[in-house]
Amino acid sequence: MLITSMLLYAFISSFTPGPNNIMAMYLAKKHGFRHALTFCLGVGTGFYVILLLCCYFSLWLQDLIPKIEFWMSIIGSAYMVYLGIKIIRSKEEGDRKNGEGEKRFFTGMLMQLVNPKVILYGLSVVSVFVIPNYNSTAGLWLLAALLGLIGFAGTVSWSIFGAVFNKCLTKHRKSFNLLMFLLLIYCAYTILKY
């Protein structure tokens, strides 16, 4: 297996801007890194689940994705627009109610499960790099865990950015929120476009 190629592809896909990374940065800016970490764990869990599903159902999903891609694009784009609206309408200090961490975890996981970019990434990395070279259960689980950790690391790095630059981002909160809103709208547009 071309492990170097797979890792390069995984790092580039995981660390580039996308709805999950944008939300992680926004949550860290608004609530701090510790609160954003729960969201990142949800993203990582969703990423791992998608990769496992892609490993076990790669051929079936390749036949199914074209049939449901339109509806996944609609649902995923609508969800991104909803998140963008929540960002643009947010106040400076959010409520930190009990159970909010659990809500962020499931939000992160749901974003992965309706994100066509992640599913297509999973299908491509699994069909090109994993399935042709590994077919044992242990190998599939191990590679899915490795790729899931890379995805988790990408989201966490965006959270760290949001936490480190919190003062600057807070000072320019309206501009930052507008930029995050526009980036999410752009992500939704690109998903619908393709």
pLDDT tens digits, 49-76: 988 888 877 756 556 767 777 777 787 6
| Ramachandran class of 2: left when φ > 0, alpha when ψ lies in -120 to 50, beta otherwise | beta
Range of the domain at 151: 21-91+98-193
105 assigned to some structural domain: yes
50 assigned to some structural domain: yes
pLDDT tens-digit map of 163-173: 888 888 778 87
51 assigned to some structural domain: yes
Mean pLDDT of the chain: 80
10 assigned to some structural domain: no
User: For residues 29 and 166, is the Cβ–Cβ distance under 8 A?
Assistant: yes
pLDDT of residue 1: 45
For the chain, what is the radius of gyration of the CA atoms? 17
Cα–Cα distance measured from residue 94 to residue 58, given in angstroms and rounded to the nearest whole number = 41
Q: Which residues of the chain have a pLDDT value below 70?
A: 1-2, 59-63, 65, 76, 91-101, 191, 194
184 assigned to some structural domain: yes
Cα–Cα distance measured from residue 45 to residue 125, given in angstroms and rounded to the nearest whole number = 17
Domain count, the chain: 1
2 assigned to some structural domain: no
Which residue reads 């109610």 in tokens? Answer: 97
13 assigned to some structural domain: no
Q: What sign does the CA torsion over 33, 39, 43, 48 have?
A: positive
Global pTM exceeds 0.75: no
6 assigned to some structural domain: no
